[in-house]
């Protein structure tokens, strides 16, 4: 379980994290989203005990990672955004070596199988692609059968199949009770995996909540090319214009599309390029950041 209450962290004059609070319960995948520099990695590094919080309270499995780093790390797995390997060791040798540092470690074969790297066991780390290195990272993070897993941009550089496999592993771990804190740039990844999320911008949480409820509460969009000779004010619903494309935001975009199409049919017009979209995490993300 992860509890963050009023976490603040500065580097010199720069305040990277400004009093954020959130909680993730066992078996939950919690997504922390935001642009580069939003404060996500700093938050994970404080939770993992790499940095000390300047203010606020942080608990991982009931322990303060700033004071009991070893206690926290023995029960957590961390997939860091940036961390190195020994390039001359093979994949299997790397995992074998790490098993010596990890209490109750999984067998090497099992860890590699979970990360989808079994067929690359004998390959030297220097010969792995970026995506394969992320999978090795995952194998090391899973090695100690963690109760809490921190995944900082876990699928960056992975091919689509590896991404899907990783999602499956993450879902299985959550189903078995592991608490997972995920940061990602891929909003579809967060939308598919996480049950709750928080969007960070400039060190603050600008939107948070359950994924499904938050998205359901967001407006959908209907967009189309504005017919010639028609001005936005002639339309039955308010729209915003970008180029020649009109976009109507509505709680129920299907209903709005029906109304617009009926109006067009009555006028003998065609709404070319019409697109109906329910709210996506991307809309929410951009909106949250725009309003911050």
Partner 1 sequence: MREFVAVARFGGRLYWRDKVALSTSVALSLGLGIGLPFMMAKVRPGVPGVVLDTHLGVLAMVLTVAAFMQAAVTLTARRDQLVLKRMRATGLHDREIIGGELVNISAQTVLLAFVVCGVLYAVAGLPLPRNPLALVLFLVAGVSVLSLLGAAWTAVISRAEVAAVMSMPWFMLAGVGAGGFGPVVKLLPAWVGTVLDLLPTGGLVVGARAAYTGEGDLLLPLLNLAVWAVVALVSVRLWFRWEPRKS
Query: Which chain residues interact with partner 1 by CB under 8 A?
Result: 48, 50, 70, 73-74, 78, 80, 82-86, 88, 97-98, 100-103, 140, 144
Q: Which is nearer to partner 1, 12 or 233 (CB)?
A: 12
Tokens of 159: 């091919």
Q: Tell me the three state secondary structure of residue 235.
A: coil
Burial of 112 (0-12, 13-18, 19+ CB in 10 A): buried
CA 268 from chain centre, in angstroms, equals: 46
Q: How far is CA 199 from CA 91, 152, 211, in A?
A: 35, 15, 11
Lookup: tokens for 252: 């129920």
Nearer of residues 104 and 291 to partner 1, judged by Cβ? 104
Q: Which is nearer to partner 1, 94 or 223 (CB)?
A: 94
Nearest-approach distance from CB 189 to partner 1, in angstroms: 22
**Choice between 48 and 170, CB closer to partner 1:** 48
Q: Measured from the CB of residue 34, what is the shortest distance to partner 1 in angstroms?
A: 19
Q: What's the closest the beta carbon of residue 12 comes to partner 1, in angstroms?
A: 11
Nearer to partner 1, 6 or 103 (CB): 103
In the complex, minimum distance from the CB of residue 123 to partner 1, in angstroms, rounded to a whole number:
16
The CB-of-143 to partner 1 minimum distance in angstroms stands at 8
Dist. CA 162–CA 253, nearest whole Å: 34
On whether the CB atoms of residues 59 and 76 are closer than 8 A, the answer is no
- Give the count of alpha carbons within 13 A of 278, CB side only: 7
């Amino acid at each position: 379980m992860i509890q963050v209450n009023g976490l603040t962290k500065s580097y010199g004059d720069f305040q990277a994290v400004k009093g954020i609070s959130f909680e993730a319960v066992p078996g939950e995948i919690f997504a922390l989203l935001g642009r580069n520099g939003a404060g996500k990695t700093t938050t994970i590094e404080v939770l993992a005990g790499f940095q000390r919080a300047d203010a606020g309270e942080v608990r991982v499995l009931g322990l303060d990672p700033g004071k009991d780093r070893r206690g926290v790390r023995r029960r957590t797995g961390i997939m860091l955004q940036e961390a190195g390997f020994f390039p001359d060791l093979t994949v299997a040798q790397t995992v074998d070596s790490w098993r010596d540092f990890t209490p109750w470690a999984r067998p090497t074969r099992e860890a590699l199988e979970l990360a989808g790297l079994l067929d690359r066991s004998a390959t030297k780390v220097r010969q792995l692609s970026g995506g394969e290195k992320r999978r090795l990272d995952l194998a090391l993070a899973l090695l100690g059968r963690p109760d809490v897993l921190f995944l900082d941009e876990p699928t960056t550089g992975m091919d689509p199949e590896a991404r899907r496999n990783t999602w499956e592993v993450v879902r299985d771990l959550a189903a078995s009770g592991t608490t997972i804190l995920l940061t990602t740039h891929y909003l579809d990844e967060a939308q598919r995996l996480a049950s709750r999320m928080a969007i960070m911008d400039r060190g603050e949480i600008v939107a948070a909540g359950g994924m499904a409820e938050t998205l359901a509460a967001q407006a959908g969009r209907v967009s189309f090319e504005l017919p010639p000779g028609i001005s936005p004010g002639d339309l039955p619903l308010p729209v915003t214009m970008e180029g020649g494309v009109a976009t109507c935001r509505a709680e129920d975009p299907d209903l709005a599309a029906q109304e617009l199409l009926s109006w067009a049919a009555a006028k003998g017009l065609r709404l070319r390029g019409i697109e109906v979209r329910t709210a996506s995490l991307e809309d929410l993300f951009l909106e949250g950041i725009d309003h911050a």
